[in-house]
Amino acid sequence: MKIAYTAWTWLQDEYNAWAPMSDKPKRDFEASLRDLHACGYRYLEDFNIVADIFDGCPEEFAALTRKYEIEFVNLYHYLTADFEYDRKKTEQCIAFMKAQGTTQMNLEPPRKAPGQVIGEKELAEVAQHCDILGGMCRDAGISLALHPHWGTYVEREDQIDYFLAHTRRDCVGLCLDTAHTVLCGMDPEKLFAKYLAQGVLKYVHFKDIDPDETAHPEYPPRRFRALGQGTVNFPGVLRVLRAGGYDNVICVELDFNRVNNYESAYTSRKYIYDVLGL
């Protein structure tokens, strides 16, 4: 399996407090590659912002990844409330990915408003839009995977099942995230096994989570932790992945660092090596 890291947090402020993007994004993108290489990562996922940062100069992006011996394996994209914008952004992302030889894209569902109840109408719209964007990706040789995510239209198992029942398998699959799975009240081992058996699990995110459900009620994803610092049974999840024949990317991510980006990436990579043997 390939062990990747998601590097978008280097483009935020030093302590990753969701500040505006850095005013020197190319410098900070290179810093992410330098840090990840030093930590032992050789595969990279990044958010669609890199298609803007390197707009018109994809060869500059490619030169940096070559310099640090890191392969760009996945681009993380979003659905918004404006589907025409999403379609145009997807076209831009596809062009950027093709220039890099990258063949996997993750797609986050639209964010829901506080207190908003998601019903079949909203889920059906997400499914329709994913089929359209997934068809665009398929025709470009790119595999699209929806990422069920806390605070979005697709969080829970029943919503995932509805989504899968109303989308085309040649257009879109799933990316499952261990921490979001726990945060939304599900068991990662059971969920991963279920969708592996259905042949729809295409990509995986590993991150840990503090088991204290009373922590950070203002924004529960602040409970996310580097691997080994929370409650997720990663050896069990890895056994499920192997038993199900998964042999793609395991991508590590941490939205909120407790110290800094390098420390988080190093802590997780050491855990993966020492505990998981990868």
67-112: pLDDT as tens digits: 999 999 999 999 999 999 999 999 999 999 999 999 999 999 999 9
Q: Is the pLDDT of residue 13 over 60?
A: no
Residue 251 bridge partners (DSSP): 4, 205
The predicted structure's pLDDT at residue 22: 65
- The whole-angstrom separation of Cα 231 and Cα 179 is 9
Locate 42 and state its tokens: 């050789």
Give backbone dihedrals phi and psi of 154, rounded to 5 degrees, phi first.
-125, 105
- The whole-angstrom separation of Cα 188 and Cα 176 is 9
Query: Of 11-20, 57-66, 144-153, 216-225, which range is least confident?
Result: 11-20
Contact 29, 10 (CB under 8 A): yes
195-209: pLDDT as tens digits: 999 999 999 999 999
User: Torsion angle of alpha carbons 225, 227, 229, 230, nearest 10°?
Assistant: 70
- The whole-angstrom separation of Cα 272 and Cα 167 is 34
Cβ count within 10 A of residue 31: 17
In the structure, what pLDDT confidence band is assigned to residue 15 with cuts at 50, 70 and 90? very low
Contact 33, 72 (CB under 8 A): no
More confident site: 13 or 34: 34
Phi-psi domain of 16 (left: phi exceeds 0; alpha: psi -120 through 50; beta: other): left
The predicted structure's pLDDT at residue 12: 78
In the structure, what pLDDT confidence band is assigned to residue 16 with cuts at 50, 70 and 90? very low
In angstroms, what is the C-alpha Rg of the chain? Answer: 18
Closest CA to 93 of 128, 49, 149, 63: 49
Q: What's the whole-number mean pLDDT along residues 186-190?
A: 98
Percent of the chain with pLDDT over 70: 96
The predicted structure's pLDDT at residue 19: 52
Task: Give alpha helix (H) positions in 57-147.
Answer: 58-67, 83-100, 120-139
Q: Is the pLDDT of residue 59 over 60?
A: yes
Locate 232 and state its tokens: 């997720």
In the structure, what pLDDT confidence band is assigned to residue 43 with cuts at 50, 70 and 90? very high
Mean pLDDT, the chain, integer = 95
The predicted structure's pLDDT at residue 24: 85
Q: What's the whole-number mean pLDDT along residues 59-73?
A: 98
Q: What angle do CA 116, 120, 121 make, to 5 degrees?
A: 80
- The whole-angstrom separation of Cα 170 and Cα 174 is 12
Please give the single-letter amino acid code of residue 258. Answer: R
